[in-house]
Amino acid sequence: MTDYSNPEYKSLIELANIARERAYAPYSKYRVGAALRTKTGKVYTGVNVENAAYPHTMCAERVAIFKAISEGEKEFEVIAVATDNGGSPCGGCRQVLAEFSLDAVVLIANGNGDLLKVMTVAELLPEAFTPNHLK
């Protein structure tokens, strides 16, 4: 059974919601924040960044992941994703998460800081295509 009162989860959700305030979402008004904790304990936040040319929009989860990668981190433990209504990561973000860890925990939270769902990347993206498929 998942411990929804885990203080580390609450801290990551809070960081995701704080980050969410900095989202650039002038078109959809759908602000997303993410907070990613690596296996070394470092935390990287991200926000969605929209663009008038919609395909160039970037999701909060990928921003956090790419920040971590750019700092040399490639092993992730948990990511908190916060939206007003507890939205789930898109397919692209699920695939990027699967690239690095199917065991990483995904926390889905709303804008009030309520933890709505806890799952692993493998549960979020069953039968994921991973680097192991290329061997």
Residue 58 near residue 25, CB atoms below 8 Å: no
Bridge-based pairing state of the strands 105-109 and 115-120 = antiparallel
d(CA 97, CA 91): 10
Known catalytic residue: 61? yes
Active-site option among 61, 71, 99, 123? 61
Phi then psi for residue 15, to 5 deg, are -65, -40
Separation CA 132–CA 110 (nearest Å): 34
From the list 19, 124, 16, 36, the residue with the least C-alpha distance to 79 is: 36
- Sequence-ordered strand ranges (E) for the chain: 33-38, 43-47, 76-82, 105-109, 115-120
Question: Which residues are known to be catalytic?
Answer: 61
